[in-house]
Structure 1
Amino acid sequence: MVVASAAFSLAAHLAERPPVWSSEEDDILLCRAVIQETHDVRTFVFSARQPRSFRYEPGQFLTFELEIDGQPINRCYTIASTPTRPDLLSITVKRVPGGPVSNWLHDNLRPGMALRAVGPMGEFSSLRHPAGKYLFLSGGSGITPLMSMARAYYDLALGQDIVFLHSARSPDDLIFRHELELMASRDRHFSFVPVCEGPGTGQPWHGYRGRLQLLMLRLAVPDFMERTVFTCGPAPYMAAVRAMLQSAAFDMQRYHEESFDFGSTEGQLAPEPETLPAAPVAATFKVAFTKSGKTLEVRADQTVLDAARKGGVRLPSSCSKGLCGTCKSKLLEGEVDMKHQGGIRQREIDSGLVLLCCSRPKSDLVVDR
């Protein structure tokens, strides 16, 4: 029966091109496989409940909606798979010490289980910045959006000139190492340059050692000044890369980085969002948070999230742009002016949910946080 069921499923996918999956129509994804990439990194592979194809730009992300210990939590994860293989979709997650979501995924998510997801969303994609030569710079689990881009170019055999330089703590922590080495061995236009801070527990390391510096970059990628750069990794890594390229007088118009830290809610707050300039006379409203018991004065030209941070109310957030849905909250009373960028669905708005990062009060509010 198992063989027959698998054959039927395969036939359903091959008989005709499945329609495109839409989280607006069906936001359920089924876990199909769990792959151990390194000692603390796993890839989770998903499909839709019915035969569907996934369409997205390599580099985009999904927002997953989970319930952990009875509490709803939203987290963004970049899609690590490639749209050139449209029947499955995957995310690759590093276990973060103390991180509620990454630990729950590693400890609990198994094939056959279902998660809710919204998306895809995001602007960090090489498709939006076509170039003849790319340099992908990643650190740690920031490899995922760049891996999606690299897989897409590799699958299409377009002869895209790509150097993929990835930094890790040790050879044991090199995510996707064998796949990247295989891609480099089969595509003469693709180069993989791993950099490790120190040796691992296995074989001796003979590659670049230490943290990425300008001299190392010049040796590994002599023509880096001619390339369009995409960077993703922890915030300190991206800041160091940015400073390094600026010191080399690199044309920063050809530099692109992930604009927010997907892991920021796994242990730290995201950077404070920008606020609108204060109006000469701005109305002020009271915003009460039911769970913390705090009440704040919030200006009409100020987002609720911004005011909460400045008032000492700790709220989950990530992008601060209305994209990811992490700060999604129930508005129990009052009215807001919300200008989001796709991180919330209309049916959620209709049920009273708002994104605090892009909501400004139009009256006194009561928020279920």
Structure 2
Amino acid sequence: MTDAPVLEISAEDALASQVTRELPGWDPEIDDVLVCRQVRDETHDVRTFVFSAREPRLFRYKPGQFITLDLPIGGQVINRCYTISSAPTRGHLISITVKRVPGGPVSNWLHDTLKPGMELRAVGPLGDFTTIDHPAPKYLFLSGGSGITPLMSMARTYHDLAQDRDIVFVHSARSPADIIFRTELDLMARNLPRFSTAYVCETTDTERAWSGFRGRLTLPMLRLIAPDLPERTVFTCGPAPYMAAVRAMLAEAGFDMRRYHEESFDFAALAEAQPDAAAASTVVPVPPPEAVARTFRVEFAKSGRVIECDAGTSILTAARVAGMRLPSSCTKGLCGTCKSKLVAGTVDMKHGGGIRQREIDAGQVLLCCSKPTSDVVVDR
């Protein structure tokens, strides 16, 4: 009796199986591991990192949402959120696009260390900065620097679906060489009749034949690019000063701010480039305690700090008021940046998806949305 022949599956057969059979969706509660498949240079200091699940899965999300990565840096796990730059129309892969921040521990680790084949854990996708939830006949996309990523995800989605949406995409960069996704945006403008792009660069020395706008975005410039500005729904993402300038321009123009949407927290920039701003941005006014509200003792085991926190206030807010600098970004229970181990005591936590159930079962909490129900000890 002879042994049955061993059937070898070729790479082509494996590929055909992956793209033709119906695949389950990626579920971080079941397997939260992402495998880096490719690293692409977008500009001299911006890279795109492309991931897949370990087994063939489809990523389902709304364009404009973000994921939170667990990054093993310096012997500890650091949580950082990055907007997804890929489109859900290409669900086999998911990507983030990251600018290297001078001195930034996380962006530099990603640029210098993350290579194809390496694995990271992730939570998400999450977030509500998406045109899917705000349908409109006309859009104006305004992005600055790496804030282009969520808007690019939206634009890629419409392009992949051949939906000729009326979109004016305005991107601000330091120079023409710093324009992220420039070639792809120009392709979209050629393929979609009502999709147009405009680039605004502070300096144009690297491109003598530059025909775009010079300087920084201004209201007269914006009115020239989009004469029908009052009719459009605006989506904005970029550094905090850029978004503040955009809001001021629109206010001056008498724009209906009910049709204005912005990415309300830039995790990477706040955490790396502007640590002081990150701390300030998370300070939330503490409501006056109710007469019957109890006050509890909160001890931070590693720092040795002890603070008082009433039952109606989150531990993060009380810590900020006491002058403590704790890592955080969204303050909404979404991003996971303030995730901490609860060593002792109990809390009431109402999160927005930024923590896995098994982490909760293991005693992890999000300080931004955890209110003490007893004296507690936190491993911080």
TM-score band, normalised by shorter chain: over 0.9
Q: What is the aligned partner in structure 2 of residue 357 from structure 1?
A: 368
Deviation at 1:204, TM superposition (A): 4.0
User: Which residue matches 2:46?
Assistant: 41
3-state SS of paired residue (2:271): coil
| Coordinate RMSD, CA, aligned | 1.4
1:238 is aligned, of 218, 238, 243, to: 243
Could you tell me the TM-score, scaled by structure 1's length? 0.96
| TM-score scaled by length of structure 2 | 0.94
Number of the residue aligned with 1:301: 312
Letter in 2 for 1:16: R
Q: Indicate the SS of the match to 2:320.
A: helix
* Alignment correspondent of 2:3: none
How many matched pairs? 367
**Deviation for aligned residue 1:201:** 2.8
Aligned to 1:167: 172
Asked if 1:265 is matched to 2:276, the reply is: no
Once the two structures are superposed, the pairs formed by residues 25-36 of structure 1 within 5 Å of their partners are 25-36=30-41
- Is 1:104–2:109 an aligned residue pair? yes
Q: Is the 8 A contact 1:12 1:51 kept in 2?
A: no
- Post-superposition shift, 1:210? 1.0
For residues 145-294 of structure 1, the aligned pairs below 5 Å read 145-263=150-268, 264-267=270-273, 268=275, 269-270=278-279, 271=281, 272-294=283-305
Match of residue 334 from structure 1: 345
Distance 1:347 1:274, change over 3 A: farther
**Aligned CA distance change for structure 1 residues 178 and 4 (closer, same or farther; 3 Å):** farther
1:323 and 2:334 are equivalent in the alignment: yes
Q: Which sections of structure 1, spanning at least 5 residues, go unmatched?
A: none
1:347 pairs, out of 337, 345, 358, with: 358
User: Hey, what's the Cα distance between the residues in 2 that align with 1:291 and 1:38?
Assistant: 40
CA distance in 1: counterparts of 2:205 and 2:292, whole angstroms: 60
The residue number in structure 2 matching 1:314 is 325
- Distance apart, 1:14 and its partner CA: 2.1
SS at match of 2:267: coil
The residue number in structure 2 matching 1:124 is: 129
**Looking at CA atoms only, which structure, 1 or 2, has the larger radius of gyration?**
2
- Structure 1: distance between partners of 2:90 and 2:221: 34
**What SS does structure 1 have at the residue aligned with 2:236?**
strand
Distance in 2, Cα, partners of 1:62 & 1:274: 28
**In structure 2, distance between residues paired with 1:158 and 1:275:** 46
Cα shift at 1:281: 3.8
SS in 1 for 2:17: helix
CA drift at 1:151: 0.4
| More deviation, 290-299/344-353 | 290-299
Within 1, Cα distance between the matches of 2:9 and 2:43?
Answer: 34
Task: State, as a whole percentage, how many aligned pairs show the same letter.
Answer: 66
Partner of 2:64: 59
What per-residue deviation string (whole Å, max 9, x for no partner) do you get for residues 298-357 of structure 1? Answer: 121111111111222211101000000010000001111111011111111110000000
Which residue type is aligned with residue 113 of structure 1?
Answer: M
Answering whether residue 86 of structure 2 is matched by residue 81 of structure 1, we say yes
Q: Is the 8 A contact 1:172 1:200 kept in 2?
A: no
Whether 1:366 aligns to 2:371 is no
The residue matched to 1:34 in structure 2 has which SS? strand
Report how far residue 50 of structure 1 moved. Answer: 0.7
The residue identity in structure 1 corresponding to 2:271 is T
1:292–1:313 CA contact under 8 A, matched in 2: no
- Counterpart Cα distance in 1 of 2:83 and 2:27: 17
* Residue 277 to residue 121, structure 1, CA distance change in 2 (3 Å): farther
Name the SS of the counterpart of 1:342 in structure 2: coil
Query: What corresponds to 2:4 in structure 1?
Result: none
Measure how far apart 1:51 and its partner are. Answer: 0.8
In structure 1, how many angstroms separate the alpha carbons of the residues matched to 2:313 and 2:323?
15
